[in-house]
Structure 1
Amino acid sequence: MEPQLRTVLLVEDSPMFRKMLADLLRDQLGVAEVVEVSSGQAAIKHLQTSARPDLVCLDLTLPDVSGYDVCEHIRRSPAVADVPVLMVSARNLPEDKAHAEEAGATGYLGKPFTAEEFAKRVRQALKAPAPRRTS
């Protein structure tokens, strides 16, 4: 059975790319609520003060805190430690993917990508086993 996606926290500093991803989440995957934030600090604040999302879509390159640091924060926070995190980045080097995995990312998708690739990676992230916690 398809995992149900109700709420996604979308962390992306590019307004154009944020809109595109939000539209894909709503139109392709039927997400009811996409919470859009443009910085790592805003993402951390949202996670501390709002309802737990079903998925976090996280850009690596943010204006304040790196996506790696946001992901590590999520893994250290008991209330959201097991939320899947899909890193979405223009950085496609093997070391970027390795660093994302070390930070606790559930999946990694390099830009550019197709709508089908995005939907597939989101589904994979939702089905993945709960990530290990960082200490």
Structure 2
Amino acid sequence: MALSFARPDSAGGNTPQDAPMADMNTTPLIDVMLVLLIMFIITIPIQTHSVGIDLPQTPKELLPPPIDTVKNRVGIDAQGVIRWNGAAVDRLTLRRYLAASLRLTVEPELQFQPDAAARYVVVDEVLADIRRAGVKKLGFIGNERYASF
């Protein structure tokens, strides 16, 4: 905060134009406010929602594994209809099918194929159901078209 005062004239009096200037310097206050604003913006937590899925990482040099005799396919079409091996099911039936497939002696591979136009909410809910069921063998189908990127 800085104050500036004018010098009195030679007669010792102050004229209105020579009156003391008592304006407050607001530049430091603005600087402090900007720094505080930037600090608050940086400390705002980023809102994220995700379902963590551990996918196997395999080198491209290896040949694909032999084809399994038992595979189940879960698909979601553009209208949000969930399909188990081609048949339309609801989420409760899907959970029952997942639990039944996990009770087998050898866990079958689960292939997940959502349509590109399917709503993210439906895909996220189905992935959460798959994760809650405890599926270990999960593969995504249809991503081959993005391999060139």
Give the TM-score normalised by structure 2: 0.33
Task: Give the number of the structure whose alpha-carbon radius of gyration is greater.
Answer: 2
Per chain length, whose mean CA-contact separation is higher, i.e. which structure has more relative contact order (CA < 8 Å, sep 6+)? 1
More helix by share: 1
